[in-house]
Amino acid sequence: MTRETVLARIKAAQAAVADSGGGGSQGGQAPATAELPVLPVPQSFADPAALFIERARQLGVGVEIAVSIDDAAGRVPAWCRHKSVHRVAVWDTPDLAPIVASLRTEGIQILRPEAPLGELATADLGITGAAWGVAETATLVLPSSLAQPRLTSLLPPIHLAVLSADRILPDLPALFRSPGRLPSALTLITGPSRSADVGLTPVLGAHGPMEVMVFLVRNVAAEAASPLA
Amino acid sequence: MTDHPGSLATAEASGAGATPRIDMIGNSERALRDQDLQDALGRAMPSFRRQRAAAVTELPEWEALRTTAAAIKDHTLANLEAYLGLLEARVREAGGVVHWAADAAEARRIITDLARARGLRRTVKSKSMTTEEIHLNPALEAAGVKVVETDLGEYVVQLAGDTPSHIIAPIIHKSAASVAELFTRKLGVPLYERPEDITRAARQALRAEFLAADLGVTGVNFAIAETGTIVVVENEGNARLTTTRPRVHIAIMGIEKVIPRLADLGVFLRLLARSSTGQRASVYVSLLTGPRRAGEVDGAEEFHLVILDNGRSRLLADPRMREALRCIRCGACLNVCPVYERAGGHAYESVYSGPIGAVITPALEGLERGHELPFASTLCGACAEVCPVRIDLPRMLLELRGRAVRAGLVGRVDRLFARAWTFVMWDPTRLRIVAAVARALQRLIVRDGRIPWLPYPLSGWTAHRAAPPLSGRPFRDRRGR
Amino acid sequence: MLAQRFLDIFGAEEQIVTPSGSCAAMVREWYPQLFRDSPEGAHRARAVGHRTFELSEFLVRVLARTDVGARLPASVVYHPSCHGLRGLGLRDEPLRLLAAVRDLRLIPLSGAEECCGFGGLFAVKFSALSGAMLATKLDAIEASGAEFVTATDASCLMHIAGGLAKRGSRVRAMHLAEVLASA
């Protein structure tokens, strides 16, 4: 069985290296491989949300700040009108319900996760939440689930993500320390899709969205009052 | 000097069974005469270098990260069987299927058999050097499965019937105009001028392919043993589409791609994008754990992971070469290499080019084929300086040179030069005598204090430089003044 | 063989100084590799390596001198040879020595840290590549407007000087030792 063959080759390889005294670049001194090295501690920033906003804007990601989800729900329709959006694919999660309701009253067509692919492929906008944000890189972290399809943030030409400021982590190491049990897909999104393959010229929207917009829900007053601030 | 088990000199060539020597001298000379290529590389490489430098300067902890990453990789390689075993167990727990392939032929067979068994007819692929290495596309096509490359650069390469020339930027050797012309010819679209329009044309054509495909094939940047997760890193979004729409997803990885813990990913991701393109993070990083869960509306229904050896265990067994397996395929070494900048990727005649290619191509394909590559270097060390996992490429190039010499692969002229040098430099008296003779003879060829021409094999020198004559008053005669 | 010979001839010396970064790097960094199969040889190689210095590092780090009383009223670019730079970590020693030379004007060299293309046998075996790398270096040197180019490595300089001569350039090459010996 190939599995056994490959594993046997690997075992033989380890024996060969051990026999010759470890080798490596020190010419005889075996590198310390018994233990995994201690990982660097995640950074901490005074105002992760502010760093996220700054770095997101550097990538051309739009950021609108709302003080609550209802505030966001009030402003998304105007933004959609401005972008000539008629058909929206959206995650079926409770936090987005006010936004969905708000869009419906505007007469914008809502596609739920179960919508057929043909319709999804014609959506102008995909609206998702985000489980976390990462400040250092302005990254959005999207898990997949029944109510949270992957294509919502991928097929439509514009992706709008609603992110709560208290979910912003300082850096990627902080994210990977404790994401819980991993979903079938955890997608890290940093800006719009891009490619520089053709003539070395950067182009947006190679396969994924050309535009990413973040509605950041941040209650500054609540933050200031919080004992954790 | 001891011989190592699985000696590189007797390594069987894999893939296309090629034994003809890679003619790096000839290829590089031809590349230097290709002005379009020189212009493209001359613009791209400095740009990559600048972007990388800016991204790296931003992180004061950069050097510490490199050291940590190298240590994680070395630990993993030293305990590889355990980590691969854990990875396999976790992938299965998550509902995936794991296959093992000893070599390229077996990997091709596994994938084509799977495609046949599931009745798969249309494949979309995202960029993967590993799939190039095993020559997967022709095998799938022969099995009646249509294959479409979806990474923009690879798509162009496929349409043009060409091969990629850079790990990260496959069509660095092609101008925008040539791509536009290709699209007009093959896709029937108007002749566009702007890269945005050219890219848009590809996006549209490929969208249709994604939505119609039943098989998606990707490579793997990292495979996390602890969680059974594969990680695919990209900027375009084609890998996400490849792993979301088709009902079967096959991911192929070399044995060295495994990392122990999810937390280790934090270190590698911080190094990868900055080293590769100077971005703080690549646009999309997909962490995939098994096929879709019950009730999900997208994601593959079946997930298969192919774990590939194809000569890597030989590198693993070789204490002086093993660290090449730390490579995370960032391309930084290519971008700083003055030889790569002028010779381009195709000169290496191999899937892996640049400094890392010069080391692993002889290792994976045999010294008979690749022995010229390690000599195509001044050992300037720029590559080692930028490698995020601290691979000591110059040391390994030098090591391979020694092996090529001992295997009798090095030409007469090189050997003659080495012998002559050793003879002359052996002894101060000998040096004095030889130098006196040379000084007398050189009067015949010195012009204006310079030697403009020397016969073969030293004509290589005088093609580009004058040679200095030996001094009338050598330093050793001036001491004490 | 040659390495063994070197150790035999120079092994007893207290300090070995060479006007070549690549030679010093060879002895210090690579000799232990060459002798890796002989613990005694490797030990000796390491011991001798510790006493082997390139000229500028000897002056600055061992003798703690940066001013050797030199004077050269000219504009100069400095090419940091690769093995000195990356092999020995020679970054500011040559620069500090040059800064102390009276009336010398040091001009920055664009792409300074890029290899000049010598590389030993590489210069002859891969002469086209070597020539192309040299051309880039020469373009940078000439664009700087300097009258002289200097370096710590005689081999790089021979290659650069040869190229300058072939171009008929008015820029002259001077080894760092020659600059420091100017008065």
Cβ-defined contact of C126 to B426 (cutoff 8 Å): no
Residues of C in contact with B467 (CB under 8 A): 162
Residues of A in contact with C41 (CB under 8 A): none
- The residues near C33 (Cβ < 8 Å, ≥ 6 apart) are A27, B395, B398
The better pLDDT of the pair A111, B8 is held by A111
Phi, psi (rounded to 5 degrees) for B161: 70, 30
The better pLDDT of the pair B375, C13 is held by B375
Residues of B in contact with C126 (CB under 8 A): 24-25, 28, 339, 375-376
- As a whole number of angstroms, the distance between CA A176 and CA B26 comes to 48
Residue A27 forms contact with C (CB below 8 Å): yes
Query: What's the whole-number mean pLDDT along residues B448-468?
Result: 73
The pTM of this model reads 0.91
Three-state secondary structure call for residue A211: strand
- As a whole number of angstroms, the distance between CA C120 and CA C159 comes to 10
Band (pLDDT 50/70/90 cuts) for residue A19 is confident
Residues of A in contact with B284 (CB under 8 A): 187-190, 193, 208
Beta-bridged to residue A143, according to DSSP, are A186
- As a whole number of angstroms, the distance between CA B183 and CA C53 comes to 59
d(CA B342, nearest CA chain C) in Å: 7
Cβ-defined contact of C133 to B467 (cutoff 8 Å): no
Residue A19 forms contact with C (CB below 8 Å): no
Interface predicted TM-score of the whole assembly (ipTM), two decimals: 0.93
Question: What's the pLDDT score for residue B410?
Answer: 84
Query: What's the whole-number mean pLDDT along residues A185-196?
Result: 95
CA dist B276 to A166, B51, B331, Å? 31, 9, 6
Degrees (nearest 5) of the Cα angle C34, C39, C43? 80
Question: What's the pLDDT score for residue B147?
Answer: 96
Q: Which of the residue ranges A114-118, B102-106, C42-46, C79-83 would you say has the lowest mean pLDDT?
A: C42-46
Residues of C in contact with B380 (CB under 8 A): 82, 86, 115, 119
- As a whole number of angstroms, the distance between CA A57 and CA A213 comes to 10
With 60 as the cut, is the pLDDT of residue A25 above it?
Answer: no
- As a whole number of angstroms, the distance between CA A59 and CA A61 comes to 5
Phi, psi (rounded to 5 degrees) for B111: -70, -45
**Mean pLDDT taken over chain B:** 89
Band (pLDDT 50/70/90 cuts) for residue A31 is very low
Q: Which of the residue ranges B96-110, B368-382, B416-430 would you say has the lowest mean pLDDT?
A: B416-430
Residue C10 forms contact with B (CB below 8 Å): no
pLDDT digits (tens, 9 = 90+) for A51-88: 999 999 999 999 999 999 999 999 999 999 999 999 99
Question: What's the pLDDT score for residue B3?
Answer: 36
Domains parsed from chain C with CATH numbers = 2-62 (no CATH), 75-181 (3.40.50)
The CATH superfamily of B79-310 is NagB/RpiA/CoA transferase-like (3.40.50.10420)
Residues of A in contact with C32 (CB under 8 A): 27
Question: What's the pLDDT score for residue B464?
Answer: 78
Question: What's the pLDDT score for residue B350?
Answer: 92
Q: Which chains touch B (3 or more CB pairs under 8 A)?
A: A, C
**Encoding tokens for residue A191?**
């800006």
Q: Given phi > 0 = left and psi -120 to 50 = alpha, else beta, which region is B404?
A: alpha
HEC string of A86-110 equals CEEEECCCHHHHHHHHHHHHCCCEE
With 70 as the cut, is the pLDDT of residue C152 above it?
Answer: yes
Give the CATH class of A48-195+202-225: alpha beta
Q: Which long-range contacts (CB under 8 A, 24 or more apart) does B444-452 make?
A: B450/C162, B450/C165, B452/C166
Domain ranges of chain B: 8-47+330-406, 79-310, 412-477
Q: How many CB pairs under 8 A join B and C?
A: 117
Closest CA to B337 of B378, B392, B395: B378
HEC string of chain B equals CCCCCCCHHHCCCCCCCCCCCCCHHHHHHHHHHCHHHHHHHHHHHHHHHHHHHHHHHCCCCHHHHHHHHHHHHHHHHHCHHHHHHHHHHHHHHCCCEEEEECCHHHHHHHHHHHHHHCCCCEEEECCCHHHHHCCHHHHHHHCCCEEEECCHHHHHHHHHCCCCCCCCCCCCCCCHHHHHHHHHHHHCCCCCCCHHHHHHHHHHHHHHHHHHCCEEEECCCEEECCCCEEEEEECCCHHHHHHHCCCEEEEEEEHHHEECCHHHHHHHHHHHHHHHCCCCCCCEEEEECCCCCCCCCCCCCEEEEEEECCCHHHHHHCCCCHHHHHCCCCCHHHHHCHHHHHHCHHHHCCCCCHHHHHHHHHHHHCHHHHCCHHHCCCCCCHHHHHCCCCCCHHHHHHHHHHHHHHCCCCCHHHHHHHHHHHHHHCCHHHHHHHHHHHHHHHCCCCECCEECCCCCCCHHHHCCCCECCCCCCCHHHCCCC
d(CA C118, nearest CA chain B) in Å: 7
- As a whole number of angstroms, the distance between CA B47 and CA B52 comes to 9
Question: What's the pLDDT score for residue B476?
Answer: 64
pLDDT digits (tens, 9 = 90+) for B228-274: 999 999 999 999 999 999 999 999 999 999 999 999 999 999 999 99
**Mean pLDDT taken over chain A:** 89
Residue A28 forms contact with C (CB below 8 Å): yes
